[in-house]
Chains A and B, each alone.
Chain A
Amino acid sequence: MLIIAANQGENFYLCTNFKPIDMTSKNSKVVELDQVVIRFAGDSGDGMQLTGSLFSDSTAFAGNDFATFPDYPSEIRAPQGTVSGVSGFQIHFGQKTVHTSGDLADVLIAMNPASLKANMRWIKPDAIIIVDADAFIEKGLEKAGYLTDPTLDGSLEKFMLIKAPITSLTKEAVKHLNMDMKSTLKTKNMFALGILMYLFNRDIELINKYYEQKFKANPLIIEANKAVLKTGFNYADTIELFANTYKVEPAPLKKGRYRNVTGNIATAWGFMAASERSGRNLFLGSYPITPATEILQELTKHKNLSIKAFQAEDEIAGIVSAIGASFTGSLAITSTSGPGLSLKSEAIGLAVMTELPIVIVDVQRGGPSTGLPTKSEQSDLMQALYGRNGEAPVIILAARSSVDCFYSAFEASKLALEHMTPVILLTDGSLANGSEVFKIPVVGELPAITPPIAKANDAEYKPYKRDPERLNRQWAIPGTEGLRHRIGGLEKQDVIGNVSHDPLNHERMTYLREEKVQRVANYIADQEVLGAEDADMLVVSWGGTYGVMLTVVEKMIEQGKSIAHAHFRHIMPLPKNTEEIFSRYKKIVVCEINNGQFVKYLRMNFPQFKYQQYNKIQGLPFMVAELEEKFNELLKD
């Protein structure tokens, strides 16, 4: 596999060609690995996110598949040196397809005692731990709550502990540049990166190119970062820190151009692609909320593509402005998280009643109320399904991975526009902030989107006249001649669209709105199942747990276990073959990061089957190991 790096447009640093590294000159043996998980941890001011993302870039360049996940403290700047102020970044890369950001780390970089303490539970029993020895002094240990120095008291014996004097060597490396102490210390993360680049046989020239682009205006900073990176790399080599270094061969990725993308960015881009494909201008009305804010931020950047992103005064104004834009013919979006979805409930009802297309993205987080803003959960499913007054059905999709956020946002837009109805797209904090390798699609090859726009001066036009198949009404856009009409939140007379309080009309309209959403099942993909039709057990999941579920099930199938997996992206309506799939399996286990919401929905829809459930409500994702253990246990029953 050959990786080249020509790029169109901007001259980004990944696009340079490098010489292969000469491994023979190194002081250690190169060991080949299948996959590796690295966790970068430091104080929130230590720049660990940047360190992690630069390592990710070099991973991309090495041709591996990878996924990343940042772990920020919820405070912007928690007290320095404390456990609550630790910021982390995890990367999982491999020579096979990678579905998750990884369970436990093989390598932990801990820039201070607090970051060691905070991350001990996330590393493998035989992990490599690299610490900044200079930070393990009395004050730092005390702030982290250590009574004795863990690097001396034997508690890390079973790990491979590397104590590198990172701070002092960093100072030494830039001494000749006469920088102030603050700027000097800012570069010490690059020393740690240098060690890792050595450990994984990466070329530091790539990172040097990054400095040259990023700090174009400040040659001193370029010089300093280069010096520190190089010193870290050489340090690992010269003092023979490691008996082995490691190499992960390129993954068998399909030919094409790739980039790294987080779920939130992918969501924003999915809408942009749908806007271009449908010919409808994109309008976002939104209010900042963790962890959905990046969708708004991203869309404000693309005014060159006529995208209008409006930061409203609150969540309600966010969706209502989007409804106004939808009435006016835009692909209208609002983005939020659980608390914001609560505030938008009444307005979603307005979109149901006016039968206008709109997509509501809910990037789920731990609830109820303010809950766990920076932690992920799948607990807004019931709210999405039923959180409105009256009979108010909407389409619900749930993205299954960071990259799938792109395709889910695209499909949500297509369904909203073609069926003239609100769609709720559920993602979650893990997908939103996690990143994956994204094979860049060709927009023209995505499905066509053809909204039912009414033609000017159509004498037959009636606001609530419906398509006989899909049951959608037509979209008559202000400014179009001969289609002036009024709609609103009051019940409408069938076909004509005037205000109506007629009892039988209301019943009929209620059935029509429900049936319109149910018929969407005719326009979505059938549910897929991984594994044998006659497996002993079907595990069921939805939304953001796909990666970890797939990893476990693939592994167990490889081990010869009789297990199958159905992962749902379409929640409302469910795919037409759902019932038939469930009927094939004696044992069905529904796994969710909540207290059992999808399983309740399935029990209601298909009460004839018996469902077991596995739930986790800790603001944490499933781990491969825990699911494997649980599934093995259930298979034995």
Chain B
Amino acid sequence: MENQLIETDLLQLTKEDFASDQMVKWCPGCGDHAILKAVENVFPNLGIKKEDFVVVSGIGCSSRFPYYMNTYGIHGIHGRAAPLATGVKLANPKLSVWMITGDGDSMAIGGNHFIHAVRRNIDINVLLFNNKIYGLTKGQYSPTTPKGSKTKTSPQGTFERPFNPGELVIGAQGNFFARVLDINPKAMTSIFMEAAKHKGTSIVEILQNCVIFSNKAHELITSRETRDQYQLWLEHGEPMKFGKDNEFGIVLKGTHLEVVNLNEEGVKESDLLVHDKYKEDSGIHTMLARMMPPEFPVALGVIRSVESETFDQLMEDTIVSEKAKSPIHNMDEMLNSGNTWMIE
């Protein structure tokens, strides 16, 4: 359903309009602070009235988010942010619904709800804070914790293979998936804007740092020494290049991706894959989402953005068409229709 878009300068909103009076209680240095700031920058610029935002969450550090935004907000129960957001959106499709969740909330206890929201393509925007650890319960492994990691519940290292949220989203027929780092405020802002404008379930995975329990979980991607080697920023229509001097690129070799060095003889820029985020076929998008160090850089930016009909719009359209078709317009008519008889 179309949000009621209004010229942004008519609304004259600023980020102060969305700042709540509550004390933000995340740990100093937590990546969540930067995400909150980015969202505060995005909301005033979407052309949506401040009353028309609803921020929904489950449980976890990230899920305190609604309390820190001056919008309508509801803090739910563990894992259930997706159905909560679904109910809000279906009840009033004019609202701009934002679901804040973490890797525990939506990959573990809420995994089922998460994939079904994605599959249905409900028009909500999901910010998935992935710090690869359970922070609020103080340091147990999560479904995205790398195999072998030592945590409070895996003192000998985990035995579990982690989920890759991008792969999961696309596997569940997701049509919008983006990945960004909590240390990139500009990129966050532009990606959140794009997610908001996308019709359907938009998932943004934010690789977020928990300074206390999984500090430097994303270090290979974020540190000054290695970031150029391990960050691939995708731009639609551009060849996939990365490295300090853009010396590396991604090519499709047979049925898999490969990293090539453009400085090597025989490697041409025209061989590189060109990013097409609108491509309906999800094959390349899945391969991009799966890329992980050390063999590959991590794909960042909007990996997939495909328009298709949303559940909420289909429901509204069906209501309109059923109303037009039906001779019954109220309960009295309904109750008196069909097989009835009269006693006099």
Contacts and interface: CB of A to CB of B under 8 A. Distances in A.
14 contacts: A15-B340, A255-B344, A257-B336, A257-B340, A257-B341, A259-B341, A304-B322, A304-B326, A305-B331, A321-B87, A346-B77, A484-B51, A484-B70, A486-B72
Interface stretch (A36-44, A55-63, A509-517): A55-63
Interface residues of A, number: 85
Contact of A320 (B69, B83, B332, B344): B83
Contacts of B342: 3-6, 256-258
A494 to B, nearest CB: 17
A328 B340 contact: no
Contacts of B112: 313-314, 317
B66, B336, B341: most-surrounded residue (chain A CB, <10 A): B341
Contact of B75 (A308, A483, A487): A487
B343 interface: yes
Interface stretch (A141-149, A162-170, A268-276): A268-276
Given A258-B340, A486-B73, A325 B87 contact: yes
A489 B88 contact: no
Contacts of B57: 488
A258 B56 CA distance: 46
Interface string B288-332: 000000000000000000000000000100110011011111111
A276 B340 CA distance: 21
A479 B332 CA distance: 30
Interface string A1-31: 1111111111011110000000000000000
Contacts of A305: 328-331, 334
A316 B83 contact: yes
A479 B340 contact: no
Contacts of A441: 335
Given A273-B331, A328-B54, A329-B91, A321 B84 contact: yes
A196 B41 CA distance: 76
A587 to B, nearest CB: 40
Contacts of B236: none
B339 A57 contact: yes
A137 interface: no
A60 B76 CA distance: 49
Contact of B80 (A57, A302, A320, A443): A320
Interface of A: 1-10, 12-15, 57, 60-61, 63, 250, 253-260, 269, 272-273, 276, 281, 283, 285, 302-306, 308, 310, 312-314, 316-318, 320-330, 332, 346-347, 349-350, 354, 440-444, 476, 478-490, 498-499
A8 B336 contact: yes
A5 B52 CA distance: 50
A487 B76 CA distance: 9
B325 A304 contact: yes
A402 B272 CA distance: 69
B113 interface: yes
Given A304-B319, A306-B319, 4 more contacts: A253-B343, A304-B326, A308-B91, A327-B84
A487 B74 contact: yes
B22 interface: yes
A533 B50 CA distance: 62
B19 to A, nearest CB: 12
Interface of A is mostly: mixed
Top 10 A-B residue pairs of the complex, sorted by shortest distance between their CB atoms = A324-B87, A488-B75, A304-B326, A321-B87, A328-B91, A317-B83, A325-B91, A486-B73, A320-B83, A478-B72
Contacts of B71: 484
A322 B50 CA distance: 24
B90 A310 contact: yes
B258 to A, nearest CB: 38
Given A254-B343, A306-B319, A354-B74, A486 B67 contact: yes
B35 interface: no
A285 B87 contact: yes
Given A324-B88, A478-B88, A269 B335 contact: yes
Interface string B29-59: 0000000000000000000011110101101
Nearest to A61: B341
Given A258-B340, A317-B86, A479-B94, A486 B75 contact: yes
Contact of A328 (B22, B76, B95, B323): B95
B88 A325 contact: yes
B85 interface: yes
A12 B338 CA distance: 6
B315 A308 contact: yes
B218 interface: no
B87 A332 contact: yes
Given A283-B87, A488-B66, A320 B343 contact: no
B324 to A, nearest CB: 9
B333 interface: yes
A625 B70 CA distance: 65
B79 to A, nearest CB: 8
Nearest to B79: A316
A349 B72 CA distance: 20
B87 A320 contact: yes
B137 interface: no
A257 B332 CA distance: 12
A330 B343 contact: no
A60 B338 CA distance: 14
Contacts of A254: 343
B74 A303 contact: no
B340 A489 contact: no
A60 B341 contact: yes
Nearest to A321: B87
Contacts of B319: 303-304, 306, 308
B270 interface: no
Given A305-B331, A313-B112, A9 B337 contact: yes
A60 B74 CA distance: 50
B26 to A, nearest CB: 14
Contacts of B335: 259, 269, 440-441, 443
Nearest to B116: A313
Contacts of A253: 343
A321 B331 contact: no
Given A256-B342, A479-B51, A488-B66, A327 B328 contact: no
Given A324-B83, A350-B76, A283 B90 contact: yes
A320 B77 contact: yes
Nearest to A269: B335
A488 B339 CA distance: 46
A316 B80 contact: yes
Given A486-B75, A487-B74, A304 B344 contact: no
Contacts of A350: 76-77
Interface in B186-203: none
A498 B56 contact: no
Contact of B85 (A8, A308, A324): A324
Contact of B327 (A9, A259, A281): A9
B344 A485 contact: no
